[in-house]
Amino acid sequence: MIKFTNVFKTYAKGGLALKDVTFHIAKGEFAFLTGHSGAGKSTVLKLVYADEQPTNGEVRVSGYVVTDLSPRDVPHLRRRLGIVFQDFRLLEDRTAEENVAFALEVTGARRSSIPARVMRVLTQVGLAAKAGAYPRELSGGEQQRVAIARALVNEPQVLLADEPTGNLDERATRGVFQLLRDINASGTAVVMATHDLELVRTAPYRVIELQEGAVVYDSDVDEPAAGGSTA
């Protein structure tokens, strides 16, 4: 599903961001990417959704080789992914429903199919009742749910979440995390970057820890029998 092979990434001014990163995340898996801020978590995700190109090595995502991807193919890769951020990235002047529908519209989905698909994912994230609300009328947790609904509406094979609970209080964090677990349980792979170790400990998922751009711990490799552990 997602395969990094000896990936190096150097930013023009920022020095080395990733150092010889190799891992493989299988279909339907749930994996945490942990590490301090600046350790390279976001860079790994950016390479997955082809916002950045590796300086060296190979990145494969859902059948695409990101390294060889032409700019024309990038949108098609992204349609197979759902992406969620710490700051939600919702359009402020559209309702929850419109924000989700937007993701379908831009991919050229059949117009008649849009309302039903939008309502289905809003129901899935527990926000069907607030479909007509604008982001500013929603709490942080609710806004993140809208963002997750938007990420899910295209039925992605992988959900990428970059610190999805970073702006949320404890209760909202638990709710959003449970939602991600449910999504994973229904078959979607989830890659979640977080520095919230509390959260990581509560779930028996794979953990890949980055430090200064290098993988220093991978529960699959280092403790395969344990089936997941904390860093």
Partner 1 sequence: MTLTVREALLAFRRAPLLSALSVTTIAFSLFVLGLFGLVAVNLRAALRGVAERVEIVAYLLPGTPIETITTAEQDIEAFPEVASADYVSEDSALARARRELVEFRALLRELESNPLPGSIEIKLKPGYEDAAHVNAVADRLRGFTFVDDVRYGRDWVEKLDRLRGLAAAVGLVVGAAFAVVAVIIIGTTIRMAVLQRSREIAIMRLVGATDGFIRRPFLLQGALKGLLGGLVAVGLSYTAYVLINRFLISASFFNGLQAVAIVGFGTVIGLMGSLLSVGRHLRRV
Residues in touch with partner 1 (CB under 8 A): 49, 71-72, 75-79, 83, 89-91, 93, 102-103, 105-108, 111, 150, 154
Q: What are the tokens at 60?
A: 């494969």
- Among residues 57, 62, 26, 4, the alpha carbon closest in space to that of 205 is found at 26
CB of 103 to partner 1, least distance (A): 4
User: Which residue, 36 or 111, has its beta carbon nearer to partner 1?
Assistant: 111
Q: Measured from the CB of residue 116, what is the shortest distance to partner 1 in angstroms?
A: 18
Nearer to partner 1, 133 or 216 (CB): 133
| Cα→Cα distances 139→14, 32, 83, Å | 35, 25, 20
Q: Tell me if 145 sits within 8 A of 125, measured CB to CB.
A: yes
Q: Shortest distance, CB of residue 89 to partner 1, whole angstroms?
A: 5
Cβ closer to partner 1: 108 or 187? 108
Q: How far is the CB of 197 from partner 1 (least distance, A)?
A: 27
* Residue closer to partner 1, measured from CB, 81 or 215: 81
β-bridge partners, 218: 208
C-beta of 15: minimal distance to partner 1 in Å? Answer: 22
Residue with tokens 């695409």: 64
Q: Which two tokens stand for residue 64?
A: 């695409």
Nearest in space to 188 (alpha carbons), one of 217, 223, 224, 148: 148
Return the number of the residue (91 or 226) whose C-beta is nearest partner 1.
91
Which residues fall within 8 angstroms of residue 166, CB to CB, at 6 or more apart? 86, 194, 196
